[in-house]
Amino acid sequence: MSSLPDARPLAEPCLPPLEAVLSAAHARQQVVGAVVLVRQHGRLRHASASGWADREQQRPMQADDLFRLASVSKPIVTAAAMRLVAQGRVSLDAPVTDWLPEFRPALPDGTRPVITLRQLLSHSAGLGYRFLEADAHGPLARAGVSDGMDDSTVSLQENLRRIAQAPLLFAPGQAWSYSLGVDVAGAVLEAATGLPLAQVVRQQVTAPLGMEATGFHTDSPARLATPYVSDAPQPHRLREGEVVPPFEGTAGISYSLARAGNRHAFASGGGGMVGTAADVMRLLEALRGDAHRSWLPAASVAEMARAQVGEHGPPDAPGWGFGLGFAVLRDPLPTATPQAAGSWRWGGAYGHSWFVDPARGLSVVALTNTLYEGMHGAFVEQVRDAVYAGLAAGEQA
């Protein structure tokens, strides 16, 4: 096999510490390929495509390569919901049964509590994810629920029926659990508008922001970066139908590579979209900056960026809470992060991470094709720290 393709930045200026991190990550096969973008105060500070989009075919990563976005879908669909809220077409705090009268999951004692759109988007509704169950025989697995990334042929409506069969993990609003809530929220948006979710997202988000490559499937599968799984001595090529646990003690995600090209697969608001790094950056910059306030009011963005469930939030990240569509940094001190309080972040299971530091006018997108290193591995913090080091060096120069 030939040496790695040239990893020079796509556009000047660049951040040398970030270039060094990327070169080292490829050299030690930490990640196979990556597209990384950094903007500060709207100005492009770094843009690179490095490593392999397909290692076996020796296809270098390109800036406009498509990625299966997995949970990077969540802020996109949440933004669509928030636009409809701003338009008065849905409410964050009305019962979900106003739009989905049959969606009435119960607590273990049989009580069927009220669930709201706010709780769905903040992962505080009491729902779960099949892939996070302890084994392949949990309640969601027994109900045949799809996590939105497998080859399931069920419709969104049928998947909701199955989700509602499993008992809630807790009373809505009382705790936090990463969940299929955004998939259910997608069905709310369909019911409220009378349109398929793909069309709702197109009208409310991707078309207004010029996210032309982003949708729930692609007709250009050759542009998709090939996914790999972190392994020794090098990441292995992800196989169709392969189940890969994201955390120890979990059943694992069932991956269908073919799903991204299947226009008949149901639109999973939580994990089913395809897009480019540039399109993700367009969304983040629209949420962060002032240029698109006619698209989404500042008050709506502020609500997304407010921790929604008290002290509850992702258990693996002290100091972080969860807003609507992404995690929100309440306190930087326990995280040892250079990010300022009020920063946002999340990622995607195919190997993605992103964050926004509004206090510094900073948006960063790092889409890789290596799970799970690119989502929650050391690479994520290495990229983060290199961005801040590069920006600091530029300020001192």
- Is 89 within 8 Å of 83 (Cβ atoms)? no
Please name the residue ranges forming H helices in the chain: 16-27, 73-86, 117-121, 139-142, 156-163, 181-193, 197-201, 277-288, 298-304, 373-376, 378-396
Q: What are phi and psi of 345, to 5 degrees?
A: -160, 160
User: d(Cα 165, Cα 396) in Å, to the nearest integer?
Assistant: 58
User: d(Cα 178, Cα 125) in Å, to the nearest integer?
Assistant: 10
Helix (H, G, I), strand (E, B) or coil at 206: helix
Give the sheet arrangement for strand 33-40, strand by strand.
Answer: 59-60, 43-54, 33-40, 362-368, 352-357, 344-348, 327-329, 320-322
Q: Measured between alpha carbons, how far apart are the two ends of the chain, in Å?
A: 40
**Residue 207: partners with Cβ closer than 8 Å, 6 or more residues away:** none
Whether 179 sits among the annotated catalytic residues: the reply is no
Catalytic-role residue among 3, 23, 48, 71: 71
User: d(Cα 374, Cα 379) in Å, to the nearest integer?
Assistant: 6
Q: Which residues are known catalytic residues?
A: 71
